[in-house]
Chain A
Amino acid sequence: MTYTSDKPALPESADQLRARIPGWGADLDPKDRPSVPKLQWQEDRTGAHWDFPDRQPEKWPRERSIEHKFLTPVFGTSCPPKGASGMIRRLAYRKFSEGRAAHWLLLLAADRVDAWESHLSSFLTARPDNPVTETGVLSEFSRHGISSRVGQKRSDVKHQVLDPVIVAGPWVLAVAVAVTAVRKLLRRS
């Protein structure tokens, strides 16, 4: 009982658990647990044969956290910054440490700008963005969208209705703005 010093009784003994669950207690001894203790000197350096790695060539000014002393020797080269989103990203890295909310808020803002820049420029390519295929929403039909949700006690269904608004909302808005603008132009001419 909790209000005394006794530990509440368990429904099953160690022997019962060992019989019911394959491997029960195999790692009872903390010495058998690979992440105990947290810090463990790795004598084999996990296969590395350097003290400090060779440096990967920097092909464009690579943005980096100002909390780093220098550009790390190895880094990813996916999607170099470009356009307005690229300018915001560079600013976020140059000006603000990871300790500052401004750093992350600017990066999040840049992500939204990037999405719009990319959607708009995709219309100038042979493969414009297609919200139907890219959201995979057709799997609602092939993957039982209704029966997966109805009659289940799922707590995510009530905010899932927001998803189409988040995805399609800005498009609807953009089209509405464009239509109004065209109408105004036509009226003027």
Chain B
Amino acid sequence: MRAMVYRGPYKVRVEEKAPPVVEHPNDAIVRVTMAAICGSDLHLYHGMMPDTRVGMTFGHEFIGVVEEVGPAVRNLVPGDRVMMPFNIFCGTCWFCARGLYANCHNVNPNATAVGGIYGYSHTCGGYDGGQAEYVRVPFADVGPTVIPEWMDDEDAVLLTDALATGYFGAQLGDIVEGDVVVVFGAGPVGLFAAKSAWLMGAGRVVVVDHLEYRLAKARTFAHAETVNFTECDDIVVHMKKITDHLGADVAIDAVGAEADGNFTQHVTAAKLKLQGGSPVALNWAIDSVRKGGTISVMGAYGPMFSAVKFGDAMNKGLTLRMNQCHVKRQWPRLFEHIRNGYLKPSDIVTHRIPLEHIAEGYHMFSAKLDGCIKPLIVPNAV
């Protein structure tokens, strides 16, 4: 089969690979019909995530059609059109039983600090991902869901990660009616978080980024006020000024390990790998939010330490909430919101790229060229 393959930092290509096989009685093999590149893939692509092996296939946002099922699979049959949460999870460990699917203890031998994720390095379990023609889907009775008839493929693929994560991020903000919510990052996760903040009753939503074209999307798609941080002398002072010097009630970090805005932080993290991630946006969140406020961290950071301003967070009495998203737990409610017309995830899709052009896709998304917000990958595109 054709599959995206990692060749080392900044290098990927499409290779002919042996198709996946059933390795466990509850596995399914899924033929991928659509995948996406996520901001998280960029952390792998830039070589930031420990134990990212040459030869691995990335991709944790994908939908497809069931091709084959293992002998113990009861809930799916070949031919089902399915969407997979980016989490691989067992359904019955201590964590899954309580709804913490992202923290499953039965799927990742390599680390206890993180669950299982498709195509996301060995630190997340060593599974090949969905930027390929076929993919192995473990625990086929637990993760995948048959895509409702009425749902578009592009909405379904965004439900497998970006939309669910933005929605989850807004929930971790514990928003109450009238809260001022600031979202750092106007990528897919930030746009969906901003949009979701309104559903929870936010009184004001401010999105911060440095990419003008993404801020424009935040204004139209997410109905938000925007701030370009390169236009502020000091973004923290700016946030204080626009909130009558109180600070925002809630801040959401939708940037993560490669945050810009401070050259030293970015280079030590993203280029030199001396810290787990560049905590620029996280530190801005800590300093912009009001005392007693809440920070929701959706941005991903590596397992190493990062230079976070913990003292300020402590002295301000902040609540810091964070996790990988428990994707499947978000679905029933998100399906309703999409049906009601409150959310139209595919509005943020900017590019549809054939699998064969994956290297160009990664470069464009990574370097933020051509107004790229969300690139989809289509195997077998003509």
Contacts and interface: CB of A to CB of B under 8 A. Distances in A.
B231 A153 contact: yes
Nearest to B7: A134
B306 interface: no
Interface string B121-134: 01101111000000
Interface in A36-53: 36, 38-42, 45-53
Which are the 8 A-B pairs with shortest beta-carbon distances?
A23-B342, A48-B91, A76-B126, A136-B363, A115-B8, A76-B127, A136-B359, A8-B244
Contact of B90 (A35, A48, A133, A136): A48
Contacts of A131: 11
A84 to B, nearest CB: 13
B309 interface: no
Interface of B: 7-13, 15, 23-26, 47, 50-57, 72, 74-75, 88-92, 96-101, 105-113, 116, 122-123, 125-128, 138-139, 141-142, 168, 171-172, 177-178, 180, 196, 198-201, 203-204, 210-212, 223, 228-231, 243-246, 260-261, 263, 266-267, 270-271, 273, 302-305, 326, 328-330, 332-333, 337, 340-343, 358-364, 367-372
B42 to A, nearest CB: 12
A78 B56 contact: yes
A12 B342 contact: no
Contact of A54 (B25, B229, B270): B25
B3 to A, nearest CB: 10
B332 A65 contact: no
10 contacts: A10-B203, A26-B342, A38-B100, A49-B141, A89-B122, A129-B8, A133-B359, A135-B359, A152-B212, A162-B271
B210 A153 contact: yes
Nearest to B52: A111
Given A122-B7, A134-B359, A163-B10, 14 more contacts: A8-B246, A14-B203, A46-B89, A63-B109, A78-B57, A79-B55, A108-B50, A117-B54, A130-B13, A143-B370, A153-B230, A155-B230, A155-B260, A166-B10
A152 B10 CA distance: 24
A15 interface: no
A172 to B, nearest CB: 15
Interface string A26-38: 1110001111101
Contacts of B371: 148
A172 B72 CA distance: 53
Interface class of chain A by DSSP = loop
A162 B10 CA distance: 12
Contacts of B47: 111-112, 115
A152 B228 CA distance: 11
Contacts of A68: 109, 112
Nearest to A111: B52
Q: Size range of the interface on A?
A: 35 or more
Contacts of B244: 1-2, 8
A62 B109 contact: yes
Given A2-B244, A108-B50, A134-B7, A10 B128 contact: no
A139 interface: yes
Nearest to B372: A143
B198 A23 contact: yes
Contacts of A148: 367-371
Contacts, number: 321
A100 to B, nearest CB: 11
A21 interface: yes
Between A65, A140, A142, A155, the greatest number of chain B beta carbons within 10 A of the residue's beta carbon is seen for: A155
Nearest to A45: B91
B141 A48 contact: yes
A8 B247 CA distance: 10
Contacts of A46: 89, 91, 96, 101, 142, 328
B341 A34 contact: no
A159 interface: yes
B240 to A, nearest CB: 9
A25 B96 contact: no
Contact of A39 (B99, B139, B203): B99
B362 A136 contact: yes
A75 interface: yes
A95 interface: no
Given A42-B96, A143-B369, A75 B125 contact: yes
A6 to B, nearest CB: 9
A162 B267 contact: yes
B11 A167 contact: yes
A188 B126 CA distance: 49
A53 B122 contact: no
Centre residue among A26, A39, A45, A64 by max chain B CB count within 10 A = A26
A20 interface: yes
A118 B7 contact: yes
A74 B50 contact: no
Contacts of B109: 62-65, 68, 71-72, 75
A24 B359 contact: no
Given A74-B24, A133-B359, A139-B360, A47 B141 contact: yes
